[in-house]
Amino acid sequence: MSDHLSLSTARPGQQMLLRGLLWAVLVLFAVWFLLPAYVVVGTSMKELEEIRSGSLLALPHELNFTAWRHAWSEACIGVECTGLEPYFWNSVRMALPAVAISTLLGALTGFALTKFRFRGANLVFALILFGCFVPFQVVILPMAQTLGRLGITNTVYGLILVHSVYGLAFTTLFFRNYYVTIPDELVRAATIDGAGFFTIFWRIILPLSPPIIVVSVIWQFTQIWNDFLFGASFTTGGAQPVTVALNNLVNTTTGVKQYNVDMAAALITAAPTLFVYIVAGRYFVRGLTAGSVKG
């Protein structure tokens, strides 16, 4: 009896100890993970003399956004001293249409493969799915030839086409797996009432699709915005996206190395994807799991 009482009284203490150790480990990993981000943000707000004479982990003496302004509008990238601003807007003009086009086409293709099945639908889906495993490097040469024939080499429009086509395999996979969970009876009932393919898609299927649309938008925006290889391969000069401009800025060897400007430029480049994940990151996980169970 006494053994049972002592055991029961010891359990809450053990649970609190284990919970405390778990939190300590999680906090340690969080600090370790966030330490580089802290160094980048802190360095971007310091003067060069403060960076050279102080510690990387030391807080800035004062908040100074001079390096941010220089990185945005004054830094020299190649032969142009325009900062990241024009390249940033290149990425915006590239990412937004490419995300919209690949998401819409993926939704239509996924709908056709699940609710308007045809002979060979599984083979078509398998071939599309194969595109998810094709490395970037494999498509560079045929894409370059295609862009040359279309006359859109070294333009933002060329990058929109490249990313729309390359991302179609992923968006089709997302929407196809999600639409499998939608009851076929909805489509049959609409078909009996005389609704066609696009009417059913716009009025029935699309209103049920916000979770997977969020997944597709976040995935595609992240992939397109962070892409370097396609931007470096298919554009030069003023048509390049911000990731390529960042690389050129960081690797500039003229004059004194400005680490604060480099860090500010990196943060400016990463800001849109960070914003997207902070605002909509939780919906990304919800959307991925929404189509995981059929029924």
Q: How far is CA 265 from CA 139, 149, 184, 244, 260, in A?
A: 29, 35, 50, 12, 9
Helices (H), the chain: 2-44, 48-53, 66-73, 85-115, 121-130, 136-150, 156-179, 184-192, 197-200, 210-225, 229-234, 242-250, 259-290
pLDDT score of 159 = 95
The per-residue pLDDT for range 93-135, each reduced to its tens digit, is 999 999 999 999 999 999 999 988 788 888 888 888 888 888 8
Query: Where residue 15 falls among pLDDT bands split at 50, 70, 90?
Result: confident
Residue 1 scores a pLDDT above 50:
no
- Tell me the HSE value of 274 on the side-chain side, using a 13 A CA sphere: 7
Neighbours of 157 (CB within 10 A): 16
pLDDT tens digit sequence for 252-285: 756 678 888 999 999 999 999 989 888 877 777 7
What is the CA angle 275-279-283, rounded to 5? Answer: 130
Q: Quote the pTM value.
A: 0.85
Joined together, the tokens standing for residue 46 give: 């310091």
DSSP assignments along 65-110, one per residue: -HHHHHHHHT--BTTB--TTHHHHHHHHHHHHHHHHHHHHHHHHHH
pLDDT score for 170: 93
Mean pLDDT lowest among 146-155, 222-231, 239-248, 272-281: 272-281
**101 phi and psi angles, rounded to 5 deg:** -65, -50
CA distances from 253 to 136, 249, 250 (A): 29, 9, 8
* 20-74: pLDDT as tens digits: 899 999 999 999 999 999 999 999 998 888 888 877 788 888 888 889 999 998 8
Sorted by sequence, the CB contacts under 8 Å of residue 195 that are 6+ apart come out as 203, 204
User: Could you give the CA distance from residue 174 to residue 210 in angstroms, rounded to a whole number?
Assistant: 12
DSSP symbol at 58: S
Whether the per-residue pLDDT at 155 is higher than 90: the answer is yes
- Longest CA span, the chain: 87
Q: What are 211-227's pLDDT values in tens digits? A: 899 999 999 999 999 99
DSSP 55: -
Select from 230, 88, 85 the least CA-distant residue to 146.
230
Q: Which pLDDT score is estimated for 18?
A: 84
Q: Which domains does the chain have, with CATH numbers?
A: 2-64 (no CATH), 85-290 (1.10.3720.10)
Stronger pLDDT, 32 or 15, i.e. the higher one: 32
- Predicted local confidence at residue 254, as pLDDT: 64
| pLDDT value at 4 more than 60 | no
Asked whether the predicted pLDDT for residue 181 surpasses 80, the reply is yes
